[in-house]
Amino acid sequence: MKQYIISIRLVLLIALLGGMVVSCKKMDDYKKFAEGGEIVYPATFDSLKVIPGNGRVMITGLLAGLPNITKFRVYWNDGLDSLETSIVRKEKIDTIKQIIPNLPEGPKTFTIRTYDDKGNRSIPMTITGNVYGANFQASVNERGNRAVFNSIFTKEGAAQITLADVDAYVNVLGMHVRYYDANDNVRDTVIPVKLKDQVAIVPGVSVYRPITYNTLYLPERVGIDTFTVTAKTLPAFTEVTLLNNIHPVANKANDGNRWATLRDWISNDAVLNHNVNGAWYGGTDKSNDAKIYFEAGWGAPAIANGKIYQVCTLPPGNYSYEGEVDWWYAGSKNDTYLIAAPGANGLPDVSNLGSAISYKRVDNGSRVISTFTLTQQTTLSLGLVLDMADDGEAMRFNSLRLYIK
């Protein structure tokens, strides 16, 4: 019996030793996969994003951590396609931007790994995004250009374009405008979108060359490529838009009854020849269909070198400054002149009309025209000079307009 017990103990010991041998062998097998120490995973990107484009995307992200990251690789198409890019660290946190070109339209999944200088690779990072192309372009073509309600040429020498409202979901980025400036140089600009009540200003444009425009669309709120449609051309300008120059005109001050001072025109003291309760007014009679109107006599003093004008900055071109006379009353003088004078400091006196760019006496006809030509961009004062006696004289205009010829 004693021998039997000893034999059993021997068998158990042999089995235990055999298990230890097997265990040691398994541990040695593991070392084959971890030779040289623990497994190292390089730092990965933070804030990864896929920015959509036309047949391409841009992958962006932030890289922090150790400076030994030397490259990264992007995989797509189930790993069949990839692109490798070297990394040169410059800051503690670096931004990467990588374009992936030649992609078919549709949703795409990308896997990114970083690599350090010892060949270790990071855990995979997966991100999805969209690629746009012909299908989205077709939808843009259906939308077409954003509607333009009207366009005018301002007295500051700019094109003023009034645009239709647009909904945010349409993802309009803005309007691309191509034009010629006052020196006949080609210019391009992009006017950012304003969804409601947008009036776009394009300064310093030629009055003779065409202005073309096309709407720019983004497929998503942010993108690396815009989509657009065939450009359209604004109608040719025929007039410089003066302010408050066609009846009924507005006033900036009045006597509460009849006499008023014109809004948007610079008026000198001589024009303000109607005194009501200690305040002086002149330039319009607001009692009935307010027009640009001057009156001397009938209880009002004479008007000696009375002046109203607006300052304009105009490109080279031929211009016609025209006054449409509504009514007049001539006494012993009634000298009224349409005048364009150089500079922004106003109009000359009647005795110095020769210093003007152009002038024309209002001869009581229904339409008075003063023409002039500018060979370079010019700032000028445009308006009326009046010399009226106090024996009963009047001059009234339906409009004062500046046409482009």
CATH number, domain with residue 107: 2.60.40.10
HEC string for the chain: CHHHHHHHHHHHHHHHHHHHHHHHHHHHHHHCCCCCCCCCCCCCEEEEEEEECECCEEEEEEECCCCCEEEEEEEECCCCEEEEEECCCCCCCEEEEEEECCCCCEEEEEEEEEEECCCCECCCEEEEEEEECHHHHHHHHHHCCCCEEEEEEECCCCEEEEECCCCHHHCEEEEEEEEEECCCCEEEEEEECCCCCCEEEECCECCCCCCEEEEEECCCCCCCCCEECCCEECCCCCEEECCCCECCCCEEEECCCCEEEECCCEECHHHCCEEECCEEECEEECCCCCEEEEEEECCECCEEEEEEEEEEEECCEEEEEEEEEEEEECCCCCEEEEEEEECCCCCCCHHHHHHCCEEEECCCCCEEEEEEEECCCEEEEEEEEEEECCCCEEEEEEEEEEEEC
**Which residue is associated with the tokens 């065939």?**
230
C-alpha 211: how far from chain center: 15
- The verdict on 198 and 326 lying in the same domain is no
* Residues 199-215: tens digit of each pLDDT: 999 999 999 999 999 99
The pLDDT of residue 96 is 87
The pLDDT of residue 288 is 83
The pLDDT confidence band at residue 33, using thresholds 50, 70 and 90, is very low
- The verdict on 272 and 367 lying in the same domain is yes
Residues contacting 14, CB < 8 A, separation 6+: none
The pLDDT of residue 365 is 82
The pLDDT confidence band at residue 20, using thresholds 50, 70 and 90, is very low
Cα distances (Å, whole numbers) of residue 200 to 133, 162, 234: 29, 6, 13
Q: What is the pTM of this model?
A: 0.81
- The verdict on 388 and 302 lying in the same domain is yes
Is the residue at 24 inside a domain? Answer: no
Residue 241 has pLDDT above 70, yes or no: yes
Of 89, 116, 131, the domain-final residue: 131
Question: At 278, which CATH number?
Answer: 2.60.120
- The verdict on 297 and 360 lying in the same domain is yes
Residue range 174-185: average pLDDT?
97
Cα distances (Å, whole numbers) of residue 367 to 139, 176, 240, 325, 358: 52, 40, 18, 6, 16
Residue 265 φ then ψ, to 5°: -110, 145
- The verdict on 144 and 194 lying in the same domain is yes
Residue range 353-369: average pLDDT?
94
Amino acid at 261: T
Q: How many other C-beta atoms can be found within 10 angstroms of the C-beta atom of residue 63?
A: 21
Is 180 within 8 Å of 203 (Cβ atoms)?
no
The pLDDT confidence band at residue 63, using thresholds 50, 70 and 90, is confident
Exposed (0-12), middle (13-18) or buried (19+): which is 101, by Cβ within 10 Å? exposed
Cα separation of 130 and 56, whole Å?
9
- The verdict on 217 and 148 lying in the same domain is yes
- The verdict on 364 and 397 lying in the same domain is yes
The pLDDT of residue 307 is 98
Across all residues in the chain, what is the average pLDDT? Answer: 90
- The verdict on 119 and 70 lying in the same domain is yes
Cα separation of 114 and 120, whole Å?
8
Of 108, 131, 154, the domain-final residue: 131
Is the residue at 127 inside a domain? Answer: yes
Is the residue at 343 inside a domain? Answer: yes
Cα distances (Å, whole numbers) of residue 92 to 46, 48, 204: 13, 17, 46
Query: What proportion of the chain, given as a percentage, has pLDDT over 90?
Result: 80
Cα distances (Å, whole numbers) of residue 66 to 91, 93, 97, 149, 306: 11, 10, 19, 58, 79
The pLDDT of residue 253 is 97
- The verdict on 164 and 280 lying in the same domain is no
- The verdict on 281 and 360 lying in the same domain is yes
Structural domain for 97, as ranges: 45-131
Of 187, 211, 237, the domain-final residue: 237
Is the residue at 337 inside a domain? Answer: yes
Is the residue at 6 inside a domain? Answer: no
The pLDDT of residue 37 is 55
Is the residue at 18 inside a domain? Answer: no
- The verdict on 375 and 278 lying in the same domain is yes
Cα separation of 380 and 323, whole Å?
18
The pLDDT of residue 363 is 86
- The verdict on 86 and 169 lying in the same domain is no
| Domain total in the chain | 3
Is the residue at 1 inside a domain? Answer: no
Query: What proportion of the chain, given as a percentage, has pLDDT over 70?
Result: 90
Is the residue at 35 inside a domain? Answer: no
